[in-house]
């Protein structure tokens, strides 16, 4: 089995194929040590500090793309420490490392740790780069997605609108960054019950991505997945199923079976089968998604708890109340602890748990 250090090295080799030349610096941790060694081996001279930091930032993005969020945080922290020391607190590469560290924390559901870093990056980018600079708009979008993840929809909306308008104005309507903003705003409108505004946004994003990026690009598959989710929620199952299967099959092939995005598609196909009463097919997918999320994200990650809740709902729909009850309780207790009592997911668990308790009571009192 590949050890952690050699795994880092292999990924860095791929990333450094597009990195710059060389540099001179003392590493501050295992990631920077490996990157520095590889750059010395590949370059003609001693690397510079700025190139080392740039390569570390690239490495961090690579870890994000493969869903390795804890390792991403470690590498981002090393890049941030180096960049603050050698380039200054408001250098663009420092702010990129700061943003990456915040993203790793958000992906691990450490929202209270991520927020001040996102705010610091946004304020510094506005001050040094301007309000409409692409990096500033990345920070605007990221702060919005953090608020969205916490159910703070009214706080997220003005940031999402600002990001979309800024991207359209500076990059154009079909630029990949603009389309990310389109997707994010559509997701918010869906959560707010503004269904009539959602489908045109998702269709525009999907068509533009297929045209510019290709059918199997990860961003295209995100649009496929999102449109399938909308159709499922609207009861348009015939439209939802081929899109759900397309997203899952492509993500399994391109990203791997345990990648977080693949597991989102797996869970969404299970939800579709569940809605159609195809309980046997749904259960197999729910169980697979839950086991993979527990293994890769941890027992208390929001995605894991969504899988716990979905499986509990499936059991309850089949009258399997004794199996459903402990899962509903687990989701409720973990969501209260991780997300807070007022988060929409927690409130959903409160409601589901009440239903579960009532159903379990009825089941236990049924005469023989």
Tokens of 195: 């269904």
Q: Which residue has the tokens 């540099």?
A: 23
Tens of pLDDT, residue by residue over 327-364, are: 989 988 888 887 787 777 777 776 665 554 443 333 33
Of residues 339 and 169, more confidence is placed in: 169
Tell me what pLDDT residue 242 has: 98
Q: Cα separation of 148 and 143, whole Å?
A: 9
Percent of the chain at pLDDT exceeding 90: 65
pLDDT band at 25 (very low <50, low <70, confident <90, very high): very low
Q: Which residue has the tokens 């894991």?
A: 304
Tell me what pLDDT residue 21 has: 34
Say if residues 82 and 74 touch (Cβ distance below 8 Å): no
Rounded average pLDDT over 6-17? 33
Long-range (24+ apart) CB contacts under 8 A made by 91-96 are 92/128, 92/129, 92/135, 93/50, 93/53, 93/54, 93/57, 94/53, 95/121, 95/124, 95/125, 95/128, 95/135, 95/139, 96/57, 96/135
Count other Cβ atoms within 10 Å, centred on residue 9. Answer: 15
pLDDT at position 45 over 80: no
pLDDT at position 3 over 70: no
Measured CA angle at 47 (ends 57, 40), to 5 deg: 95
pLDDT averaged over every residue in the chain? 85
Least confident of 11-15, 224-228, 295-299, 353-357: 11-15
> What is the phi-psi region of residue 291: left when phi exceeds 0, alpha when psi lies from -120 to 50, beta otherwise?
alpha
On the 0-12 / 13-18 / 19+ scale of CB atoms within 10 A, 120 is: middle
Q: Looking at residue 74, what DSSP letter applies?
A: H
pLDDT at position 5 over 70: no
Tell me what pLDDT residue 348 has: 75
Q: Cα separation of 58 and 363, whole Å?
A: 56
Least confident of 34-48, 90-104, 172-186, 256-270: 34-48
Rounded average pLDDT over 212-224? 94
Tell me what pLDDT residue 355 has: 55
Q: Which residues contact 165 (CB under 8 A, 6 or more apart)?
A: none
Q: Cα separation of 88 and 248, whole Å?
A: 43
Q: Cα separation of 358 and 100, whole Å?
A: 45
Among 11-15, 28-32, 143-147, top mean pLDDT goes to 143-147
Q: Which residues contact 253 (CB under 8 A, 6 or more apart)?
A: 216
Rounded average pLDDT over 309-318? 94
Which stretch of DSSP H or E encloses residue 57? helix 49-65
Say if residues 78 and 56 touch (Cβ distance below 8 Å): yes
Going from the N-terminus, what domains does the chain have, and what CATH number goes with each? 1-110 (no CATH), 129-253 (1.25.40.10), 289-368 (1.25.40.10)
Of residues 302 and 89, more confidence is placed in: 89
Tell me what pLDDT residue 252 has: 97
Tell me what pLDDT residue 28 has: 54
Rounded average pLDDT over 46-58? 87
Say if residues 46 and 24 touch (Cβ distance below 8 Å): yes
Least confident of 96-100, 230-234, 272-276, 362-366: 362-366
pTM of this prediction? 0.73
Tens of pLDDT, residue by residue over 90-122, are: 999 999 999 999 999 999 889 999 999 999 999
Least confident of 28-42, 92-106, 180-194, 296-310: 28-42
Residues listed for the chain: 368
């Amino acid at each position: 089995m590949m050890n952690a250090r050699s795994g880092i090295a292999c990924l860095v080799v791929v990333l450094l194929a597009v990195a710059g030349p060389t540099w001179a610096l003392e590493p501050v941790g295992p990631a920077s040590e490996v990157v520095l060694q590889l750059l010395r081996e590949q370059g003609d001279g001693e690397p510079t500090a700025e190139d080392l930091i740039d390569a570390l930032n690239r490495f961090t993005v690579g870890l994000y793309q493969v869903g390795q969020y804890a390792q991403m945080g470690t590498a981002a922290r090393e890049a941030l420490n180096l960049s603050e020391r050698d380039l200054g607190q408001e250098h663009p590469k420092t702010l990129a490392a700061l943003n990456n560290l915040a993203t790793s924390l958000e992906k691990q559901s450490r929202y209270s740790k991520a927020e001040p870093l996102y705010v610091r990056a946004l304020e510094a980018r506005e001050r040094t780069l301007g309000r409409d600079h692409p990096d500033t708009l990345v920070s605007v979008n990221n702060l919005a997605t953090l608020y969205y993840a916490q159910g703070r929809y009214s706080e997220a909306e003005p940031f999402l609108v600002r990001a979309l308008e800024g991207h359209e104005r500076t990059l154009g309507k079909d630029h990949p960054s603009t389309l990310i903003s389109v997707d994010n705003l559509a997701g918010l409108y869906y959560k707010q019950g503004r269904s009539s505004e959602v489908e045109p946004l998702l269709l525009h994003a999907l068509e533009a991505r297929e045209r510019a990026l290709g059918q199997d690009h990860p961003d295209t598959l995100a649009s496929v997945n999102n449109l399938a989710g909308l159709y499922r929620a609207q009861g348009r199952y015939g439209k939802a199923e081929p899109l759900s299967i397309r997203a899952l099959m492509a993500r399994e092939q391109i990203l791997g079976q345990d990648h977080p995005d693949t597991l989102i598609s797996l869970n969404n196909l299970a939800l579709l089968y569940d809605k159609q009463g195809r309980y046997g097919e749904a259960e197999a997918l729910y169980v697979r998604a839950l086991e993979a999320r527990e293994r890769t994200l941890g027992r208390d990650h929001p995605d894991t708890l969504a899988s716990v809740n979905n499986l509990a709902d499936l059991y309850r729909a089949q009258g399997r109340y004794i199996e459903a009850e402990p899962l509903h309780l687990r989701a409720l207790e973990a969501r209260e602890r991780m997300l807070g009592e007022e988060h929409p997911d927690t409130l959903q668990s409160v409601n589901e748990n009440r239903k579960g308790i009532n159903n379990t009571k009825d089941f236990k009192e049924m005469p023989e």
